Structure 1
Amino acid sequence: RWFTQAILALKYIHDKHVLHRDLKSSNFFLSKSGNLKMGDFGIAKVLACTAACAKTQIGTPYYLSPEVCQEKPYTWPSDMWAMGCILYELCALKVPFDANSISDLVKKICRGPTPAIPSSYSDFLRQLCTEMLNRNPNGRPSAETILARPQMQAVVKQMLERAQAAQEGRDPAQSGGNSSEIAPPARHSAPASAIGSPHPVP
């Protein structure tokens, strides 16, 4: 559920032409009701249109996309790379790329092997993470594309059913099916604290 909410939040800001530029686990926060929210828009950039690019090299090193590391113009897929790093971190409890220096980290991000998330997770989740960490920005899926996949649609449906049940005073636990296909096991709780974007995720 948390990953789905993160992708919903990413789709929302991208639809508003906002490039976050500093997505990382510590910039997602949990509300009292257990919903994930995106925060810290301090270095976000509003692009003029969907075809516009940003050029400033900025962000947290572990989550920098290859195009940012190489000082190339970047756009929406750069946020998706960072989200792929977060997904890997949620599942493996460590960042996908690590090094003792910035220069070595940049080399790993740009040319090192792309790690796979643990085999205990579904084939869908493992493949999705690989797609999000594609070094070719054009090969990464958009938030809209990810949300259109049946596995994600099932989680969104469950979230809506639970929200409706809560509003009607019914036990939310009686609504929706098992979302383990997408969500990490409970023992792999999000390594982030979280607060909200100005627009709460459903």
Structure 2
Amino acid sequence: MDKYIKVRKIGEGSFGKAILVKAKEDGQQYVIKEINISKMSNKEREESRREVAVLANMKHPNIVLYRESFEENGCLYIVMDYCEGGDLFKKINAQKGILFSEDQILDWFVQICLALKHIHDRKILHRDIKSQNIFLTKDGTIQLGDFGIARVLNSTAELARTCIGTPYYLSPEICQNKPYNNKSDIWALGCVLYEMCTLKHAFEAGNMKNLVLKIISGPFPPVSMHYSYDLRNLLSQLFKRNPRNRPSVNSILEKNFIAKRVEKFLTPELIAEGFNHKIFHKFGPHASPAKRPVQEQTLTSVAPAQKITKPAAKYGVPLTIRKSCGVPKKPNEKKPLTKIRQVRIVGGWKFILEMQIISEVQ
């Protein structure tokens, strides 16, 4: 931290603290994420270093740039660019009920999709897509941030016991204790699109149990008819309960009304590098065919899926909810005992979950 001067704390969450800093060398402002890794084993720390290094090398105009990472006094520090325009969550709240135009929504949505495509094509999952993790630069460009940090956190013993999280973006499969995959990112993308269209969460409830039930089988309030059929239909596709029925991010970007906006945000070189489909050939002579992106069926994360998330441990989702969707319980399956304490905050519910694992059958 010797190279930086702390300006102020700008956030706090399950990851630790977010601190706005100024570089002593040039006065440039950055955000540093401070993560306590003191309880990690040496092997886990080494794994975290490798994973953060991968993120630091990922460069795209719609992804917050990771500058460097280092460790001091039992903490992992991740340095990234500072987005002066704030996050999408604050932008939505600032509307005070006045809906965004469809043009504005689609411009933002396309940029989020371009960022997600860049990640998914490289076999990395975001795992924490939400409006608070989507940022705006000074000139209004959308940048997706905070991906991969959840993977680092999953290594800590502390997270299994205590986690602060906002559960509105949980997919049905996560609620049913199934592993996270790329289609869970797509569900969360749908939640963000719905927020942009309605200024509200798609699924809300006063407690975790009812929220999970709504996500698994409940309806969501319809989006205003003020928006086009294409937009409303896309939203219904993103909210398919069966993850196999949700489109991949590549499929979303190939839809006519989405594809025609891509050239606004990517250079012909980047389009040629990332796309190989007839619909993009009209973007100009530079948009020559490129290598076909990795298909969603083969997408995996940096780590095996079963290690990515244990929703019961992370969010306290009761496994008995499975009965609601007809999924049989495994014989002799032991369930963790979960205590949930609810805390009301501005902007929605947050849940502080204290886990007590009684026993577990491997």
* TM-score of the two chains, using structure 1 as the length reference: 0.70
Separation (CA, whole Å) in 1 of partners of 2:229 and 2:137: 30
Q: State yes or no: 1:114 paired with 2:220.
A: yes
Deviations 1:106-149 (A, max 9, x none): 00000101333211111000000000011010000111001011
SS in 1 for 2:150: coil
Separation (CA, whole Å) in 2 of partners of 1:44 and 1:120: 39
Shift of 1:11: 0.6
Gaps of 5+ in 1: 46-55, 162-190, 192-202
Structure 2 residue identity aligned to 1:84: G
Shift of 1:44: 4.4
Q: State yes or no: 1:43 paired with 2:165.
A: no
The 3 A distance-change label for structure 1 pair 87 and 134 is same
Separation (CA, whole Å) in 2 of partners of 1:16 and 1:65: 22
More helix by share: 1
Q: State yes or no: 1:103 paired with 2:209.
A: yes
Q: Structure 1: which 4+ aligned runs deviate by more than 3 Å?
A: 158-161
Separation (CA, whole Å) in 1 of partners of 2:254 and 2:122: 19
The structure with the largest alpha-carbon Rg is 2
More strand by share: 2
Gaps of 5+ in 2: 1-106, 153-159, 268-346, 348-362
Contact 1:114–1:133, Cα closer than 8 Å, also in 2: no
SS in 2 for 1:88: helix
Structure with the greater relative contact order (CA < 8 A, sep ≥ 6): 1 or 2? 1
Root mean square deviation, CA, Å: 2.0
Contact 2:111–2:265, Cα closer than 8 Å, also in 1: no
Percent of aligned positions that are identical? 49
Contact 2:127–2:185, Cα closer than 8 Å, also in 1: yes
SS in 2 for 1:23: coil
Q: What number of residue pairs does the alignment pair up? A: 151
Match of 1:157 in 2: 263
Shift of 1:40: 1.1
SS in 1 for 2:204: coil
* TM-score of the two chains, using structure 2 as the length reference: 0.40
Contact 2:173–2:179, Cα closer than 8 Å, also in 1: yes
